Amino acid sequence: MSSNPYLPRLAEVLEVKEESPEVKTLKLKLKEGRMKFKAGQFLELTVFGVGEAPFTFSSSPFNLESFEVSIAKVGSVTGAAHRLKRGELVGVRGPFGNGFPLEEYKGRDLLIVGGGIGIAPLRSLLYALVAERSEYGELKLLYGARSPSLIIYKDEWEKFMEKDVEVYLTVDVGDETWRCGPYGPCGYTHVGVVTTLFDLVKLNPEKCVAFVCGPPIMIKFTVQRLLQLGFPASRIYLSLERMMKCGLGKCGHCNIEGYYVCKDGPVFPFEMLKDIPHPF
Ligand SMILES: Cc1cc2nc3c(=O)[nH]c(=O)nc-3n(C[C@H](O)[C@H](O)[C@H](O)COP(=O)(O)OP(=O)(O)OC[C@H]3O[C@@H](n4cnc5c(N)ncnc54)[C@H](O)[C@@H]3O)c2cc1C
Ligand code: FES
């Protein structure tokens, strides 16, 4: 990180990939130095002349040459980020936040549950896990999007399966491509919200740790299901979002009941949040 945490460092856009009609992935490289981060941490990205917004790293933390963020277009900064072209410069501050506590869970089974753009930090987590695949037990991913065209990282799921990750995809509403298209032969034909995938997987809550990221309603129902299955609150990790400014625990914008999402999170064990009304 730069010695002044408020000062963005310059990064070049190396590649822009359209993942879906709503999401683009930017591959970035710092003009000076390397970006060293943990899966689950985030950065503040400045589109010059427009503004700054937080995004989690979506690429492997083991690749120090470049890094990626996957951005859903929702407003001014994300809209401007979608217009960026290869070779343009952006500002980046970070990495910020805590990241996923992987060292604690070597030898365990891991369950990863993602909804919508919430899959972005979980992709970084998956790359970190498969880089040390033999260190972990069973590795399962449940990922849902609203429709087949909104499933992102489409060309990567089979590669994760080859690395002994069980991948289960679902969409809220299917179409022809979902039933017969590229996903059909691989068995990706499930329709229903992401929690309906729990009926397809065998889990051992005694041994398993869950990592969850997605829209608040999806987090709420996923946590409920995990608790029903017997997961202890201490082994359910949530990656949360709040409005942010500084990213450093100074401005107070991201406060939830005494915790700063930018500094104490964005990854929280549910144990820390369970007594807070409306934590997600
Ligand atoms: C730690 C963290 C990590 C994030 N990681 C990603 C990521 O990897 N990919 C991604 O696409 N997005 C991510 N987000 C959300 C992203 O920061 C917001 O979508 C972005 O700030 C919106 O900026 P904008 O200027 O385009 O939108 P604006 O023009 O400011 O607002 C457009 C709409 O988005 C809402 N909005 C703005 N900021 C947020 C926010 N932080 N959370 C929820 N709603 C918001 C506004 O209320 C408004 O409805 C993350 C947010 C946080 C806090
Ligand atoms: S964004 Fe300023 S305290 Fe968290």
Decide whether any atom of ligand 2 lies within 6 Å of the 53 Cβ: no
Per the prediction, the chain carries an average pLDDT of: 93
- Residue 17 pairs in a beta bridge with 25
- Identify whether 265 is part of a domain: no
Which pLDDT value is given to residue 2?
A: 62
Contact 59, 124 (CB under 8 A): yes
Which pLDDT value is given to residue 188?
A: 64
Task: Examine the domain organization and report whether 114 and 227 are in the same domain.
Answer: yes
Task: Examine the domain organization and report whether 216 and 110 are in the same domain.
Answer: yes
Report the separation in Å between the CA atom of 175 and the middle of ligand 1, taken as the mean of its atom positions: 29
Q: Which ligand lies nearest the alpha carbon of 122?
A: 1
Mutation test residue for ligand 1: of 74, 77, 217, the one with most atoms within 8 Å of CB = 74
Which pLDDT value is given to residue 140?
A: 96
Residue 179 pLDDT > 70: no
- Identify whether 244 is part of a domain: no
Task: Examine the domain organization and report whether 48 and 147 are in the same domain.
Answer: no
Which pLDDT value is given to residue 184?
A: 42
Mutation test residue for ligand 2: of 41, 96, 254, the one with most atoms within 8 Å of CB = 254
Count up the domains in the chain and report the number: 2
Q: Are strands 190-191 and 166-171 parallel, antiparallel or unpaired?
A: parallel
Pick the residue whose CA is nearest to atom 45 on ligand 1: 243
Cβ neighbours, 10 Å, residue 164: 12
Task: Examine the domain organization and report whether 45 and 129 are in the same domain.
Answer: no
Decide whether any atom of ligand 2 lies within 6 Å of the 256 Cβ: no
Ligand 2, atom nearest to 260 Cα: 4
Contact 22, 73 (CB under 8 A): yes
Q: What is the CA radius of gyration of the chain?
A: 18
Contact 269, 233 (CB under 8 A): yes
Question: Which tokens sit at 102?
Answer: 């992987």
Decide whether any atom of ligand 2 lies within 6 Å of the 23 Cβ: no
Which pLDDT value is given to residue 16?
A: 98
